[in-house]
Amino acid sequence: MWFVIKLNVHEAKTHLSRYLEKLKKGETILLCKHNEPVAEIRGLPASPSRKRPIGLAKGQFTITDSFFEPLPDELLKAFSGHSE
């Protein structure tokens, strides 16, 4: 079941370890300052129990030789913030 816990900063700091367990179980914390929401805290998904196999997309696409060619100067300038 999914719940949202509304906490003020002081309460969150005082009982952080208690709330970490709730986050691990899927609950969400709405962090407030003076009862005004300022952030939402969610637990991270569980790590995969086994390593991801290599080559999952093998044969599903090809990379052409042009992929490895240098980018045009105007595009490189745009990426570096010098588009003018």
Q: What is the pLDDT of residues 20-59, one digit of tens each?
A: 988 988 899 999 999 899 999 999 988 888 888 888 888 9
Element (H, E) at 13: helix 9-14
Domain boundaries, the chain: 4-42
Full-prediction pTM beyond 0.85? no
Average pLDDT, the chain: 88
Rounded to whole angstroms, how far apart are CA atoms 2 and 42? Answer: 11
**CATH code linked to domain 4-42:** 3.40.1620
* pLDDT at 47 (0 to 100): 82
Based on DSSP, count helices (H) and strands (E) in the chain, helices before strands.
3, 3
* pLDDT at 1 (0 to 100): 46
Higher pLDDT, 46 or 1: 46
The one-letter amino acid code at 39 reads A
Record the tokens describing residue 57, joined without a space.
Answer: 């997309």
